[in-house]
Amino acid sequence: MNRFALLGMCLCSFTASAQTVLSSVQEALALARRNNPDLVNARQNSLIQAQQQLGSRAALLPQARLFTNFDYNYALPVQLVPAEFLGGKAGEFRTLQFGLPYVLAAGAEVTLPVINRPARADVGIAAQNLQIADKQTLVLADEISTQTARLYHAALLTRSAIAITQRNLSAADTLTQIARDRLEKGLIEPLEYNRIRSIQLTTADVLYQNELGFIRNRNQLKLLVGLTLADSLVLAEELSARPAASVVPASVTPQAERPQVTLQQTRVELARLQLNRERLQRWPTLSAYGRYTQQAQRSAINFLSTSQPWFQIGVAGLQLNWQFYTGGLRTSNLTRARLQLKLAESQLTYERNKQQVDTEDVRNTYNQAVRSLDLNRQNYELSSQNVQIALIKYRSGLFAYDQYLNVFNEALTAQNRFLTNLSNTFINQIILQIRNGQ
């Protein structure tokens, strides 16, 4: 018995480890920001971008290499010289062959950039690209937070709609039973019974659609917060239990720039750095170098022989490069960089206006939902009472079916408006909080 109990406890603990309970939208947002796969990949991409910054710095540091060359001179140069230089007769010529066919050289080379302004500009460009990658991650986090807030409240909304539709279906079942009894007694015509039955079937179908909507919203929420489809996700919050919201005045503006705006700002700065780099291409570059080589020449491949000499060659110097004419390429690059800067500045202005308009729209939508929430709640409660009263009157014969149907349809309209208004209130409230850095 103890073994079975221990096994059961292990299974329960395993099941519990795969269950996630969210008691508030803040918990959902924190989980999405930490575990969302797209955000995890974006952070990994930032680490990759950081390596490019190290690569740009390497161009300013000394570079050293070891090298070896093996050459076979299958046609050696030959020169005619006067024979009298070699002890011969005047007027005759002798042939001199330069070098031997097999040459092996090994050495080391060190180069050091002394003046290279474009390479120094590349370091700043690499750092700016890294900042752009970080800003893109912030933009992605903002978008995922907004999607998470919407899906979280959409799931709560469809779950509340399921509870309301279940009550409507229960009332429709009761009404159908009453109509069936009256039909069997000949008190109503089949047409009235069929209409009531149709309402019952329609309400049942609405219930199934709401259940499907809840499952879809919950599955999409799982995807955003980094859970698998097999994981259990429980939403412990009830929308109706959340404290009432208050109107946000127009004077209250977000305390920080939106990530979309700061991203465009970094792109403008990148365009400035790229324009400056193209201007620096006019400057010459100066490098110091040193090279040491040992070389052996043989008439046969016997380089391991210690009886024959190796020759040493050492050189050190400075190299100055100045491209004073590039066929118009430099002018074209400068023009393109200026146009890219102008485009980035235009995109920044548009993005700032776009985000201001969008935030103002969210604030206005939220304020309108707050003002209407109490009215819609009262109308919903009143319509629910009316349905109960109409059902009692229809059962007692004081109401015709069309009278009950009118009350029922009014209740459906009030229910839908209340749920939509409730969801809009809290969705836009959370979005405003996100945009205020909360």
Phi and psi at residue 3, to the nearest 5°: -65, -40
Name the pTM for this structure.
0.81
What's the one-letter identity of residue 46? S
Q: Which residue has the tokens 């070389």?
A: 295
Residue 312, strand partner residues: 294
The Cα–Cα gap between 392 and 140 comes to 54
- Quick count: other Cβ atoms within 10 Å of Cβ 401? 18
Residue 315, strand partner residues: 291
- Quick count: other Cβ atoms within 10 Å of Cβ 381? 12
Angle (CA) 374-380-384 rounded to 5° is 150
List the pLDDT tens digit at each of the 438 positions of the chain. 444 444 454 444 444 446 899 988 999 999 999 999 999 999 998 888 888 888 888 888 999 999 999 999 888 888 888 877 777 777 777 777 788 899 999 999 999 999 999 999 999 999 999 999 999 999 999 999 999 999 999 999 999 999 999 999 998 898 899 889 888 888 888 898 899 899 999 999 999 999 999 999 999 999 999 999 999 999 998 877 777 666 666 555 556 788 999 999 999 999 999 999 999 999 999 999 999 999 998 888 888 877 888 889 999 999 999 988 888 888 999 999 999 999 999 999 999 999 999 999 999 999 998 888 889 989 999 998 998 898 888 888 888 888 888 998 899 899 989 988 888 888 998 898 888 876
Q: Are 322 and 284 in contact (CB under 8 A)?
A: yes
SS (H, E, C) 73-129: CCCCCEEEEEHHHHCCCCCCEEEEECCCCEEEEEEEEEEEEEECHHHHHHHHHHHHH
The Cα–Cα gap between 187 and 180 comes to 10
Closest CA to 245 of 416, 5, 25: 25
